[in-house]
Amino acid sequence: MSEFWLHPALILGLGGLLLPLVPARLQRAYLLLVPLLTFGRALSLAQGTFGMVDFLGWTLVFGRVDTLSALFGYIMSLMAVIGTLYGAHVREKAQHLASWLYVAGALGVIYAGDFLTLFVFWELMAFSSVFLIWFRRRPQSLAAGFRYLLVHVVGGLALLAGIILHGGANGGGLAFDAFDVASMTPAAWLVLTGFLLNAAVPPLHAWLPDAYGEGTFNGSVFLCAFTTKTAVYALVRGFPGLDLLVPLGVVMSLYGVVYAVLENDARRLLAYHIISQVGYMVAGVGIGTEMALNGACAHAFAHILYKALLFMGAGAVLHMTGQSKFTALGGLYRKMPLTFWLTLVGGLSISAFPLTSGFVSKSMVVAGAFESHLLWAGFLLNLASVGTFLHTGLKVPYFIWFGERHASDETWNRAADPPWNMRVAMMVAAALCFFIGCYTPYLYNMLPFPVTYHPYSAYHLSETLQLLLATGLGFALLIEKLKPEAKIALDLDWVYRKAAPVFARLARGPIQGLDTWVGELYRNSGLAGLVTSARHIGRFDHRVIDGAVDGLAAAVRACGGRLRALQRGQVQESLLLAFALAVAVALGFLLLRGVLR
């Protein structure tokens, strides 16, 4: 075991466990202190391998710190500060505990140097984050949480099976290093499946909009930032250059945009755009060049901030009005102007507007595709960015804050800009979106490979502005066609939504009937035969076994009686003679030894 190493996740975990003991008057200060200490610890980590523990013949590595893990640890611990500040006015301590354990799980995965440690923290993420859905306390949230948990348990089992096979094939070695993507083994495919499910790669994606749309107003801010980006980190670490990831990522980027067109719920729309944006990162990992991997990491960094800002804006609307559907909102600018402007920054950033973080990160992946002569991938990723601006940059702000008012009088009267801590958290995220877009060395210097990319070229600026202007014109012309409708879009979650009740009916009906029939059959035939056999065995035991044992006992008792008669004579004399002989031999030996000396 190596010397003690203070893991950033340990600060959050212990801080969360001690939170119930903190007095109410000190709670807000404590809520800010713990994530700030975590962020400070992440900043202070030196590169190297730390926190090594020998466990049952394996060496667990809790602290592998290099440029890749340092980048993701930095942004995730920073997001813990912003997310906690956003929900600091929430009095229910269990919500903050679940959030911190969730982030602690993500940080544990980021710094893990072996698969066993990774798996433990991977499951901690799943089992803690589900409470961020359940704490909304709606029937829909309860059901969505169970679906979320069951899907992630399946993904965890696939990951565990791959880890076991991988360890067996490597003589028990469980180091978390890159797989040989040129010759994928069954173990590698299973591990990849676990990673892809958390990355929400279609067809393993439906859990994400299902769950994130049902989380609490502040819980979904954490959810949108950690699970998918932790999976992106794992893909960068384990499967760089896997060709299959390129088409999967491109499909993701387009799939999320298409479903966002159909969505009436603002947070579900934003959730579908998570799938789209993570598609860029997955494609970058598949391309596998230094440019593309830098792009995947940079876009993950930027995405955590601007997507959190978007979810904070939608969460503020939900928190203040109780509504998140476009058909129940509209015209809120007069009531929530600051929330609009801050949310708009997130919409411009995700659309890769110049001077924002998305402009300097997303384009690196596209440039990596063209650099690798994957023209089809580059053009389709650019096409997906058009849909992103259309729906997240234009549709979301317009139909919530402008457009026709659909809000009821109750909703309208409740509407107002949110509490100060929510506004400050949104301001911090918005400022970082602009700062990253204007001062690229801040992000580029943290990337795992040297950066030679310059986003503010005349070609890139003109191309981006043309796409954005054309998209804006299309929105203005088609605004009537893009009006939200109170409809439900069927996705692949329809399969397990419908399959679950069918399975429940089967379990209550035919399966329960079969189980009852087998039980009766066992009771009437199998159990009766067992009782008969027990009777025969009992007779055998009584007549044969007991008879033999009792007979042997009688013989031993008779022999003892005969020996008892000898106790006053020959036996005592024999023992006395034996003892005297032993004493004589011992004395003779001692005398002889003295003479020889």
Show me where the domains of the chain are located: 240-491, 497-566, 567-597
Report the interhelical angle of 139-169 vs 186-198 (nearest 10°): 160
Confidence of residue 556 (pLDDT cuts 50, 70, 90): low
Confidence of residue 595 (pLDDT cuts 50, 70, 90): very low
User: In the prediction, which pLDDT does 20 show?
Assistant: 93
Contact 351, 392 (CB under 8 A): yes
Determine which of 85-94, 197-206, 519-528, 561-570 has the lowest per-residue pLDDT on average: 561-570
Determine which of 226-230, 235-239, 484-488 has the lowest per-residue pLDDT on average: 484-488
User: In the prediction, which pLDDT does 526 show?
Assistant: 63
Work out whether the CA dihedral 21, 26, 30, 31 comes out positive or negative. positive
Asked whether residue 99 carries a pLDDT value surpassing 80, the answer given is yes
Asked whether residue 516 carries a pLDDT value surpassing 90, the answer given is no
Angstrom distances, CA of residue 287 to CA of 56, 247, 453: 38, 10, 16
Angstrom distances, CA of residue 196 to CA of 156, 200, 211, 248, 274: 11, 6, 17, 10, 14
Asked whether residue 156 carries a pLDDT value surpassing 50, the answer given is yes
Residue 510 CA from chain centroid, whole number: 36
Confidence of residue 588 (pLDDT cuts 50, 70, 90): low
Asked whether residue 469 carries a pLDDT value surpassing 70, the answer given is yes
Mean pLDDT within 171-175: 82
Residue with tokens 């009531």: 335
Terminal-to-terminal C-alpha distance of the chain: 57
Asked whether residue 523 carries a pLDDT value surpassing 90, the answer given is no
201-220: buried (b, 16+ CB within 10 Å) or exposed (e) per residue? bbebbbbbbbbbbbbbbbbb
Encoding tokens for residue 147? 């679906």
Mean per-residue pLDDT over the chain, rounded:
89
pLDDT winner (highest mean) among 133-142, 510-519, 559-568, 576-585: 133-142
Contact 359, 461 (CB under 8 A): no
Asked whether residue 564 carries a pLDDT value surpassing 70, the answer given is no
Mean pLDDT within 101-121: 96
Asked whether residue 568 carries a pLDDT value surpassing 60, the answer given is no
Asked whether residue 578 carries a pLDDT value surpassing 70, the answer given is no
Distance CA 595, CA 597 (A): 5
485-511: buried (b, 16+ CB within 10 Å) or exposed (e) per residue? eeeebebebeeeeeeeeeeeeeeeeee
User: Where is 96: in which H helix or E strand?
Assistant: helix 93-111
User: In the prediction, which pLDDT does 590 show?
Assistant: 57
Contact 224, 275 (CB under 8 A): no
Return the closest-CA partner of residue 15 out of 1, 35, 29. Answer: 35
Distance CA 352, CA 365 (A): 12
Query: Based on C-alpha coordinates, what's the Rg of the chain?
Result: 34
Question: From the CB of residue 530, how many other CB atoms can be counted at a distance below 10 Å?
Answer: 10
Between 497 and 483, name the one with better pLDDT. 483
Mean pLDDT within 144-150: 93
Determine which of 229-243, 320-334, 460-474, 565-579 has the lowest per-residue pLDDT on average: 565-579
Encoding tokens for residue 35? 């994530």
**Tens digits of residue pLDDT in 378-399:** 999 999 998 899 888 898 999 9
Q: What amino acid is encoded at 388 in this protein?
A: T
Cis peptide before 20 (omega within 30 of 0): no
Encoding tokens for residue 525? 């035939």
Cβ neighbours for 214, distance < 8 A, ≥ 6 positions apart: 133, 136, 138, 140, 141, 144, 145
Question: From the CB of residue 190, how many other CB atoms can be counted at a distance below 10 Å?
Answer: 20
Asked whether residue 537 carries a pLDDT value surpassing 60, the answer given is yes
User: In the prediction, which pLDDT does 448 show?
Assistant: 96
User: In the prediction, which pLDDT does 511 show?
Assistant: 81
User: In the prediction, which pLDDT does 285 show?
Assistant: 97
pLDDT cut 90: percent of the chain above it: 70
Contact 398, 389 (CB under 8 A): no
Confidence of residue 4 (pLDDT cuts 50, 70, 90): confident
Percentage helix, strand, coil for the chain under 3-state DSSP, each rounded to 5 = 75, 5, 20
Between 261 and 319, name the one with better pLDDT. 319
Cis peptide before 203 (omega within 30 of 0): yes
User: In the prediction, which pLDDT does 485 show?
Assistant: 82
Distance CA 263, CA 193 (A): 28
User: In the prediction, which pLDDT does 508 show?
Assistant: 76
Encoding tokens for residue 485? 């409708």
